[in-house]
Structure 1
Amino acid sequence: MARPVTNAAFEALLRAAGYGNAHAAFARQLNHAGRNHGAWRYDAASVYWWLRGRRPGEDVQAAMAETVTRKLGRTVAVSELGFRGSHGIGACDYPTSVGRAIDAAEQLWTTLAKHPNPQVSGTLDNGKALQAALGWRYDLPDETVSRSGRQQVTSGDVQSLYALADHFTDLDRRHGSGSPRTRALMADFLVRQVAPMLHGTYTDAVGRDLMRAAATLSGQLAFMSYDAGDHAAAQHHVTIALRLAKAACDRLYGAHLLANLATQAVFLGHARDAARLVEAAIDGAGRAPGAVLARLYSTAATAYGQSGERRACQIALAKAERALDRTDRGTAPRWVNYFSHAHLAGAALRCLGDLHLYTQALRQAPDALTLNSANTRTRALHTALVAMTHARAGDTDSACNWSRKLAQDAAGICSARVQQRVLELTAMLSPQRGLPQVNEALHVLATMPAAAT
């Protein structure tokens, strides 16, 4: 069942401009208006989410106003579109010092713990994201992070935090993060346990490890917020995590965080900025372990694929494959051990499909589904990609078969990203709803539960 519209102002403008029942046409005109910003690929599903609470970036809103202005014959201000900022999280600035990073982290975690169900936002501030990348890459390292406070922090205290990070990561991969309760639970833990440790007493060595653990937890919360569709909060969490990783002198995890931010930018259609972010990550990672480089280059490939850069995409995929083939799991950081040939195949499936190389893309499908049983959400995302690629290639029967498989794989998963792919697949199949197999597939997709964001 479709969600109710929450942005009445935007809906009224679409109706007045003749787009009330033509969301796909509006998306096409929007893509044309934004051609100078990159290869936007918004569609009817994007409009659906904007009407129901997501907030696009400032450049997208400007193009929206321009599109509606042309149709109405009068100037439409961005303020008339009805989008509002995400509540209570403040400006997403890269902290200039460790102390400011700790204060900003505590404030952000406290806000989420107290307001577990904020208005979901589609905002990604590309300028702030690139500033954070520059700060992480080129700012001087912190001379010391030792501190004198109320609570003594030991190395054993810090090690317990990594076990909790692993627990939340496993929950996220198995069930998705669409439910605000999971994120609120993690934020409450950060406020009650981690923030006092950050304000405590520790040596420089213990402090570096504490910063690394806090960065890992904040980075996980960032990814969970992204999966829930709360993009402004996700960017804020990852910016804090980047600064904490900088304080920890952990360039590899910092590069991983930038790649996560690039993945978020790809999801929102900002391919050029995504490419810049992941290029900064690759540059900053240096001579990294194979698994880390494989993950970074696969993210770069998705950005290049979305922007239509075929050669750059194929080069990045080849580099990712070579790096993964020489991976030594014993020397790789613990947070990248999840990345497998199945994850790389999923990235190849996506970016080759974006390049309209459907036959090549579908060759990746079998490998993309050979996932560890714990990666439940990724399996659903990859299954949706297989169905969408068949639909784009014109193989309606296969697309319908995979749609039914998607309904099975996505059972029990609460994820805005999975729901977005369901909506995209529905939009692809809808023009052929006269066919019995399409009607059956659309019915199955329509009865899937929406992500509880």
Structure 2
Amino acid sequence: MLRDAGYDNAHAAFARQLNHAGRAHGTWRYDAASVYWWLRGRRPERRVQATMADVLGRRLGRPVAIVELGFTAAHVAAHVPYPVSCSDAIESAERLWTTLTKQSSSPTNGTFDSAQALQAAIAWRYDRPDKPVSRNGRQPVTTAEVQSLYALADHFTDLDRRHGGGSPRARALMADFLVRQVAPMLHGAYTGSVGRELMRAAATLSGQLAFMCYDAGDHAIAQHHLTIALRLAKAADDRLYGAHLLANLATQAVFLGHAQDAARLAEAAIDGADRAPAAVRARLYTAVASAYGRSGERRACQTALARAERDLDRASAHASPRWAAYFSPAHFAGTALKCLSDLRLYTQALRYAPDAIALAGRNARTLALHTALVATTHARAGDIDASCCWGREAARRATDVHSARVKHRVSELIAALSPRQALPQVNELLVAFGTTPPPN
């Protein structure tokens, strides 16, 4: 409807018209970023929807019903119940993986459900541990077979970091592997010790697929995979990996604007991790900091960042689980940069810029995310020349990955630079991004 009304490339203009039309309801300060989130499933209040329908109706020359805007359909929540038992988790996982093999070509219509996420966190934290996980199926499962799953998880993780999770083919390939190879193993015959290791491996694979779906912008499916992975980690009695998954759920909630719920999820992860190694604590505290930074709680955010940095300094590779090895000083610096930028402490934020881009080449997506973030922070700080310099680098790196999150970071950069589009260097960069900025 925005396209038909002539607002396809003028989201800021549409937001201004909406603010003007809604002045009877108070002072609205919607902007192009607001429109971005509405198009991705966030639902405004009913009165905002009614005003939106009026604005579009005047532009289209016909009455527009609220139902035509699509918010009712877009708000259908993902059905992501936390499985009661390990057997339920196995059945749910197989159904979900099978569904994804058929739907990987396009995102689902569901949205992230904060209430379900919090319920899953409570159940994971406080439900009693499972009894030893054993099974008497047809296919015997050995320790060596389970260990081979970790090698494949590493392979998919490497693909994700190098190319992004936005490739439907990569997600379909992983889902097909889970259906054909992992599901039969979960239904097989194994002892309690092998069973726990199998649940841990299945949780690792499901958690990786969840992150790929999140990076692709398929948030309902990502949440469902994280919920299943959380339950499998519970069955494996792996509290540390469960806390990591819960922190990933918090990270997704932050990205989607559910900052307060994200803080609860991240705090629950820290509480549930108990006596975690320093590297794990550092990763968890960055999730806490991200949530508080997004919600504008400066003191809580800076406290969490300080704890994360202190724990990272104490981290030992020998004492950390294998999945925590990825978390480096560069990852922490990227989080600190984002948090302080969210708090509008741009000078402090940019002190972390050099460390944030000191990543290994295999982290192509993170490099693209951090580079675009540095450019955006410079723009918000008023240094347009530096922003354009980093923006050109971000444009180059963004072409190497398929990631909805990278596209979002680029859109934030474009929004930050658009008010200065009359400057030649800004206009050149916007053209490089293939974007025609909205009129002021």
Calculate the TM-score normalised by the size of structure 2. 0.89
**Could you tell me which of 410, 416, 433 is aligned with 1:422?**
410
Partner residue of 1:22?
14
Deviation at 1:20, TM superposition (A): 8.6
| CA-to-aligned-CA distance 1:10-49 (integer Å, 9 cap, x gap) | 777998xx9893236759999xx9x9xxxxx985245246
| Residues 1:253 and 2:241 are matched in the alignment | yes
Counterparts of 1:381-420 in structure 2, within 5 Å, are 381-420=369-408
* Runs of at least 5 residues in structure 1 that lack an aligned partner in the other structure: 1-7, 36-40, 449-453
Partner amino acid, structure 2, of 1:422: V
**Could you tell me which of 322, 333, 354 is aligned with 1:366?**
354
Q: 1:352, 1:207 → 2: CA distance?
A: 44
* Runs of at least 5 residues in structure 2 that lack an aligned partner in the other structure: 56-63
Q: 1:318, 1:28 → 2: CA distance?
A: 43
| CA-to-aligned-CA distance 1:169-208 (integer Å, 9 cap, x gap) | 0000010011111100000000000000001111111000
Distance change >3 Å, CA 24–CA 445, structure 1 → 2: farther
Partner residue of 1:141?
129
Q: 2:16, 2:406 → 1: CA distance?
A: 20
Deviation at 1:213, TM superposition (A): 0.2
Q: 2:332, 2:233 → 1: CA distance?
A: 25
Partner residue of 1:38?
none
**Could you tell me which of 50, 55, 76 is aligned with 1:69?**
50
Does the 8 Å contact 1:45/1:420 carry over to 2?
A: no
Partner residue of 1:313?
301
- The alignment-based identity, stated in percent, is 64
Q: 1:24, 1:141 → 2: CA distance?
A: 54
Q: 1:233, 1:28 → 2: CA distance?
A: 37
Partner residue of 2:166?
178
Does the 8 Å contact 1:86/1:119 carry over to 2?
A: no
| Residues 1:107 and 2:88 are matched in the alignment | no
Partner amino acid, structure 1, of 2:69: L
Counterparts of 1:46-85 in structure 2, within 5 Å, are 46-48=34-36, 50-51=38-39, 54-56=40-42, 61=43, 63-70=44-51, 79-83=67-71, 84=73
Partner residue of 2:187?
199
SS of the residue 2:83 aligns to:
coil
What RMSD over aligned residues (CA atoms) do the two structures have, in Å?
Answer: 3.0
Partner amino acid, structure 2, of 1:68: Q
Does the 8 Å contact 1:278/1:296 carry over to 2?
A: yes
**Could you tell me which of 205, 213, 232 is aligned with 1:244?**
232
Deviation at 1:372, TM superposition (A): 1.6
Partner amino acid, structure 2, of 1:173: R
Counterparts of 1:139-178 in structure 2, within 5 Å, are 139-178=127-166
Q: 1:304, 1:25 → 2: CA distance?
A: 32
Partner residue of 2:58?
none
**Could you tell me which of 194, 208, 212 is aligned with 2:200?**
212
Partner amino acid, structure 2, of 1:274: A
Q: 2:302, 2:412 → 1: CA distance?
A: 25
Does the 8 Å contact 1:376/1:409 carry over to 2?
A: yes
**Could you tell me which of 414, 421, 425 is aligned with 1:433?**
421
Counterparts of 1:250-329 in structure 2, within 5 Å, are 250-329=238-317
Q: 2:194, 2:245 → 1: CA distance?
A: 22
Deviation at 1:375, TM superposition (A): 0.8
Partner residue of 2:216?
228
Q: 1:442, 1:344 → 2: CA distance?
A: 29
Name the stretch that deviates more: 341-350 or 391-400. 391-400
Does the 8 Å contact 2:18/2:52 carry over to 1?
A: no
Deviation at 1:374, TM superposition (A): 1.2
Partner residue of 2:120?
132
Q: 1:250, 1:273 → 2: CA distance?
A: 24
Counterparts of 1:312-351 in structure 2, within 5 Å, are 312-351=300-339
Partner residue of 2:61?
none
Distance change >3 Å, CA 29–CA 290, structure 1 → 2: farther
Does the 8 Å contact 1:162/1:213 carry over to 2?
A: yes
| CA-to-aligned-CA distance 1:123-161 (integer Å, 9 cap, x gap) | 110000000000100001111211111111111110000
Does the 8 Å contact 2:244/2:269 carry over to 1?
A: yes
Deviation at 1:79, TM superposition (A): 4.4
Deviation at 1:71, TM superposition (A): 6.3
Partner residue of 1:4?
none
Q: 1:42, 1:347 → 2: CA distance?
A: 26
Aligned length in residues: 424
Deviation at 1:444, TM superposition (A): 1.3
Partner residue of 1:3?
none
Deviation at 1:85, TM superposition (A): 5.2
Distance change >3 Å, CA 394–CA 160, structure 1 → 2: same
Distance change >3 Å, CA 415–CA 73, structure 1 → 2: closer
Does the 8 Å contact 1:121/1:229 carry over to 2?
A: no
**Could you tell me which of 428, 433, 438 is aligned with 1:445?**
433
Name the stretch that deviates more: 368-377 or 159-168. 368-377
Does the 8 Å contact 2:18/2:51 carry over to 1?
A: no
Distance change >3 Å, CA 340–CA 320, structure 1 → 2: same
| Residues 1:118 and 2:106 are matched in the alignment | yes
Deviation at 1:406, TM superposition (A): 0.5
Partner residue of 2:59?
none
Does the 8 Å contact 1:65/1:81 carry over to 2?
A: no
